[in-house]
Amino acid sequence: MLFNSFVFLLAFLPAALLLHAAAERYRPQWRLPVLAGLSFVFYAWWDWRFLPLLLGSIAINWGVARVLPRDRTGWLFPAAIAGNLAVLAAFKYLGFFTDLANLIPALDLQRVDLVLPLGISFFTFHHIMYLTDLKAGRAPSFGLTRYALYIAFFPQVLAGPLVRWSEIMHQFEGRPYARPDAAERIGRGLMLLTVGLAKKVFLGDPLAAYANPVFQAAAAGKTITVAEAWQGTLGFTFQIYFDFSGYTDMALGLALLFGIVLPQNFDVPYRATSLRDFWRRWHMTLSRFLRDYLYIAMGGNRRGLAIQVAALFATMTLGGLWHGAGLTFVAWGAAHGVGLGAGVLWRRAGGRMPQVLGWALTALFVILTWVLFRATSFEAALAMYKGLLGFAPTGTGFKWRTILMAAAVAMIGPTAWAAIHRLPPNRWLALAFAVVFVVVLLKIGNDANYEFIYFQF
């Protein structure tokens, strides 16, 4: 079920809070099993057929984790990682790899597309992070209930943030409603949930109406005018930010309601003054995963400049492939790999740049590469680039009001997490947020209810 749906906001969430609060007060030992059970219900609501996949994934990886510290053969860890990646590849990349294989002359393999289980990329990466740290001696063993909750905790199971075991496991032991700041945490959680919903409903979804028709026209082979190209590209630039950061704000707020603090995932990324700075601010938990489990494993910056640049390129290309089974995603990741490599060479050469110029170049690069991320094919991307670069009719009717509002909110900041924690407890403030929440519910009831973009990854 979607966070921005009536069934979640008005039925599942109140019921979950009541059950969790009852368990925490009267049977504290039941709190984690109740949370895990609620998480499985939440996951199964979308499509119950994929619940066995999640349960099986948890059971098998937990079993591997129990045996791994005593394994002396050396094959269990690589087999477990390969198995997790094979399941991900089967569901997400089977059709893509079939298309690549069919590029070989005389091959004519039948394309098989499986339905993509929600959250499979995210819970697969959680398994990999934990098993890798366990193998390295950085992680202890955990019981099945705690491990299951780490993987399936419903605020973050579908689209993150990517949470390391060390950031959350210790929080499962507490009595969240017995803390002296419990009421404040609940209040700030509700505020974060409201802000995230507002970002999604009032900015992300309207921007989708700006961007989607343009990219659909490009995919259909139509000529895209200059005005349409910039409207669609800028619309998507801010749509994906408010869609995903809004989801993250909701996830962080929901987790607070259950006594859990999740890591932040965004830090005003469109204020970045370099591409490296951008990736330290955008989808921060994924950036840390790519850095610690891919880039460093490939050598990082410890084996010379050539290895560093190659590792950056390979890491970002794989990061692009993770986002979607298509060559446009690969090209998007590769472009960022090239950009990050160029930044390394620039800094090694002692290059300096005014911050304003660095921001302008970074913003332009990010905006232009979003076209590859959103376009369904290279032909569609080319049609968009022709419009963006002026090789198309000028066109009219550029819709700018929501884009300008979104740009101002995205650029000025601060993050929702920082803003909410700066606000003092106040009854009038609580009333204002309650009014906003009601307005959001009315908006959800009247308009199209868009799925979150990152659910497809």
Whole-number Cα distances in Å, 44 to 30, 38, 48, 91 = 21, 10, 4, 17
Residues 133 and 85: their CA atoms lie apart, in Å, by: 17
Is cis: bond before 161, omega within 30 of 0? Answer: yes
Is residue 190 within 8 Å of residue 257, measured between CB atoms?
Answer: yes
Structure tokens at 106: 């005389």
Residues in contact with 153: Cβ distance below 8 Å, sequence separation at least 6, in sequence order: 35, 39, 163, 168, 255, 260
Tell me which DSSP letter residue 110 carries: P
Structure tokens at 127: 């398994």
**323 in catalytic set:** yes
Identify the active-site residue in 20, 127, 283, 323: 323
Whole-number Cα distances in Å, 223 to 209, 354, 386 = 19, 38, 9
Residues in contact with 63: Cβ distance below 8 Å, sequence separation at least 6, in sequence order: none
Instruction: Calculate helix-pair angle for 305-323, 327-348, nearest 10 degrees.
Output: 150
Helical ranges in 258-392 per DSSP H: 275-279, 284-290, 305-323, 327-348, 355-374, 378-388
Residues 143 and 160: their CA atoms lie apart, in Å, by: 22
Residues annotated catalytic, as ranges: 323
